């Protein structure tokens, strides 16, 4: 392996909140034990190959601003290996335990399906070799079925069955590769699974195709004995105006419709929650209450732009409440925190990329530690429990468990001469309590 653009960086270390070093962790101390295990194992941070290695800085108004050596002209397979060498040196620099990739991020396309798959497997084997000498593991693999023009009308929902078949072959190979590299999850984000105009769209037909596709994926998972989770990533819009996997609740309805609610979970992204008109914590709490919480894509949008800007996160309040709901959901288990985030187009140096991940990891770590303290302290949970305490009474439990009919409830309500009085929601008291934990208390 020759020198890479990240080889000169020392490995980022935890130096504590008072350090002046911009390339040190202030809050992310991977060995710090919280709720019985080290932060490294709670947060399971991952670096996204697409944003960190493939980004060129283009936007709708301007060309590339970020140039890396593997983007120079040359033999595409050799260049993909230069990129992989740099990727593993970036992972080493950041000392983050996982990475994620799309097939198209790691390997060049060929002229045919067979050539494309051959290139892909050659680089998957190369990543496997790299993983022998680096500690970085694979959080998830996925397929890019949205960039090439053949996917312009969707992947599994395409009106052309040949595109469906191309996608089936692609996902089969990406699942094989994910298993080969010991991946913990396989993600499906419905890139162009949606529509731009209903005028040319048969929605019922497209739902059938998408349900069949996901069923095939689940069947194949069992066939090859893949132990990872299958995850759908909701997103409401962009690139299409109407994405079918709008949000977590919509995905749950889709899973129920095809009988897959015990087989598939969700990978939730902060920016996608914002685009759906929700908060990140809303999406996590929804997944948790349906029992389908899987993994997180960490980033933020820009509320002033309303695009999927995939910026690195910096909102401590939202991240703390998100981590609170993650802990309540039972933690990330096989999932993780994938930085699906990119530096801005003026941040074109390798150092900018390292710095961005350092800030993101610090924010998540601080948020997680505060959320753990909020839970250990118990005051917030006690306020919530008190609000619903009436439901512990035997008659309330009987109503909830289906032991009372509508007319039986009416009969008792009349006999008891019910006249419920308004009770305060205590919102400001709760906000003040949490504000103290988030902004004042030491972690």
Closest CA to 89 of 130, 41, 44: 130
* β-bridge partners, 371: none
Q: Cβ 417 to ligand XLS, closest distance in Å?
A: 55
Residue from 42, 102, 282, 325 carrying the catalytic annotation: 102
To the query of whether residue 102 is one of the catalytic residues in this protein, the response is yes
Q: Cβ 8 to ligand XLS, closest distance in Å?
A: 29
Q: Please pick, from the candidates 103, 247, 297, 362, the single residue that binds Ca ion as defined by CB under 5 A.
A: 297
Q: Please pick, from the candidates 263, 269, 283, 362, the single residue that binds Ca ion as defined by CB under 5 A.
A: 269
List residues binding ligand XLS (CB under 6 A): 102, 142, 187, 189, 233, 235, 269, 297, 308, 340
Compute the half-sphere exposure of residue 206: CA atoms within 13 Å on the CB side of its CA: 20
The region of 70-78, 82-90, 290-298, 317-325 touching Ca ion under the rule CB under 5 A is 290-298
- 151 touches which of ligand XLS, Ca ion, none (CB within 5 to 8 A by kind)? none
Q: Is the Cβ of residue 29 or residue 297 nearer to Ca ion in the bound state?
A: 297
Q: Are the C-beta atoms of residues 380 and 435 closer than 8 Å to each other?
A: no
Give Cβ neighbours of residue 11 (< 8 Å, ≥ 6 apart).
Answer: 92, 93, 95
Q: Is the Cβ of residue 147 or residue 289 nearer to ligand XLS in the bound state?
A: 147
Q: Is the Cβ of residue 263 or residue 269 nearer to ligand XLS in the bound state?
A: 269
Q: Is the Cβ of residue 176 or residue 233 nearer to ligand XLS in the bound state?
A: 233
The length of the chain, given as a count of residues: 443
CB atoms closer than 10 angstroms to residue 263: 18
Q: How far apart are CA 2 and CA 12, in angstroms?
A: 21
Residue from 103, 105, 247, 310 carrying the catalytic annotation: 105
To the query of whether residue 441 is one of the catalytic residues in this protein, the response is no
In the complex, residue closest to ligand XLS by CB: 189
* β-bridge partners, 268: 296
* β-bridge partners, 195: 242
The enclosing H or E element of 107 equals none
Q: Is the Cβ of residue 25 or residue 254 nearer to ligand XLS in the bound state?
A: 254
- 176 touches which of Ca ion, ligand XLS, none (CB within 5 to 8 A by kind)? none
- 142 touches which of ligand XLS, Ca ion, none (CB within 5 to 8 A by kind)? ligand XLS
The region of 122-130, 212-220, 302-310, 369-377 touching Ca ion under the rule CB under 5 A is 302-310
User: What does the CA dihedral 32, 38, 40, 42 come to, rounded to 10 degrees?
Assistant: -120
Q: Cβ 430 to ligand XLS, closest distance in Å?
A: 32
Q: Are the C-beta atoms of residues 168 and 220 closer than 8 Å to each other?
A: no
Angle at 58 (CA atoms; ends 52, 61), nearest 5 degrees:
155
Q: Are the C-beta atoms of residues 246 and 236 closer than 8 Å to each other?
A: yes
Structure tokens at 226: 């893949």
Q: How far apart are CA 337 and CA 186, in angstroms?
A: 14
Size of the site for Ca ion (CB under 5 A): 6
H-only helix segments in 95-237: 103-106, 113-133, 161-180, 203-224
Q: Cβ 340 to ligand XLS, closest distance in Å?
A: 5
* β-bridge partners, 337: 45, 296
- 192 touches which of ligand XLS, Ca ion, none (CB within 5 to 8 A by kind)? none
340 makes contact with Ca ion (CB under 5 A) = yes
Per-residue mark of binding to Ca ion, 127-156 (x: CB under 5 A): ------------------------------
Q: Cβ 159 to ligand XLS, closest distance in Å?
A: 22
- For residue 64, CA distances in Å to 86, 162, 257, 347 come to 19, 33, 43, 12
Q: Are the C-beta atoms of residues 53 and 83 closer than 8 Å to each other?
A: yes
Q: Is the Cβ of residue 175 or residue 341 nearer to Ca ion in the bound state?
A: 341
* Residue 294 backbone phi and psi in degrees, to 5: -120, -60
Closest CA to 313 of 360, 348, 272, 270: 360
Q: Cβ 282 to ligand XLS, closest distance in Å?
A: 18
Q: Is the Cβ of residue 103 or residue 297 nearer to Ca ion in the bound state?
A: 297
Which residues in the 308-327 window bind Ca ion by CB under 5 A? 308, 310
245 makes contact with Ca ion (CB under 5 A) = no
Q: Is the Cβ of residue 89 or residue 297 nearer to Ca ion in the bound state?
A: 297
- 89 touches which of ligand XLS, Ca ion, none (CB within 5 to 8 A by kind)? none
Q: Which residues bind Ca ion (CB under 5 A)?
A: 269, 271, 297, 308, 310, 340
Residues taking part in catalysis: 102, 105
């Amino acid at each position: 392996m020759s020198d890479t653009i990240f080889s000169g960086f020392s490995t980022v270390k935890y130096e504590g909140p008072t350090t002046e070093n911009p390339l040190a962790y202030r809050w992310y101390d991977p060995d710090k034990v919280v709720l019985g295990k080290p932060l490294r194992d709670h947060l399971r941070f991952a670096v996204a190959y697409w944003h960190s290695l493939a980004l060129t800085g283009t936007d709708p108004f301007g060309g590339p601003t970020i140039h890396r050596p593997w983007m120079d002209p040359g033999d595409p397979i050799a260049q993909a290996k230069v990129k992989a060498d740099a990727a593993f040196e970036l992972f080493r620099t950041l000392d983050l335990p996982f990475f994620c990739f799309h097939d198209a991020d790691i390997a060049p396309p060929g002229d045919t399906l067979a050539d494309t798959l051959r290139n892909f497997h050659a680089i998957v084997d190369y990543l496997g070799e790299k993983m022998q000498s680096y500690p970085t593991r694979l959080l998830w693999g996925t397929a890019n079925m949205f960039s090439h023009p053949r996917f312009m009308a969707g992947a599994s929902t395409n009106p052309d069955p040949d595109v469906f078949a191309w996608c089936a072959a692609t996902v089969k190979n990406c699942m094989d590769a994910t298993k080969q590299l010991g991946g913990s999850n396989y993600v499906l984000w419905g890139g162009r699974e949606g529509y731009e105009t209903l005028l040319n769209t048969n929605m019922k037909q497209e739902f059938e195709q998408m349900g069949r596709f996901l069923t095939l994926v689940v069947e194949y998972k069992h066939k090859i004995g893949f132990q990872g989770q299958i995850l759908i990533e909701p997103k409401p819009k962009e690139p299409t105006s109407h994405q079918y996997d709008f949000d977590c609740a919509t995905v749950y309805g889709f899973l129920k419709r095809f009988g897959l609610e015990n087989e598939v979970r969700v990978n939730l992204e902060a920016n996608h929650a914002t685009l759906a008109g929700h908060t990140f914590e809303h999406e996590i709490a929804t997944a948790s209450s349906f029992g389908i919480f899987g993994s997180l894509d960490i980033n933020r949008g820009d509320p002033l732009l309303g695009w999927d800007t995939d910026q690195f996160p910096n909102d401590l309040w939202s991240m703390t409440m998100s981590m609170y709901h993650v802990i309540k959901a039972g933690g990330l288990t096989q999932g993780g925190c994938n930085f699906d985030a990119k530096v801005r187009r003026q941040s074109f140096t390798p150092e900018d990329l390292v710095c961005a991940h350092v800030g993101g990891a610090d924010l998540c770590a601080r948020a997680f530690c505060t959320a753990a303290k909020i839970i250990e302290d118990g005051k917030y949970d006690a306020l919530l429990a008190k609000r619903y305490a009436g439901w512990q009474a035997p008659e309330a439990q009987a109503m909830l468990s289906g032991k009372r009919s509508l007319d039986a409830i009416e009969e008792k309500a009349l006999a008891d001469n019910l006249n419920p009085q308004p009770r305060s929601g205590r919102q400001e008291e709760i906000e003040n309590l949490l504000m103290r934990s988030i902004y004042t208390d030491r972690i």
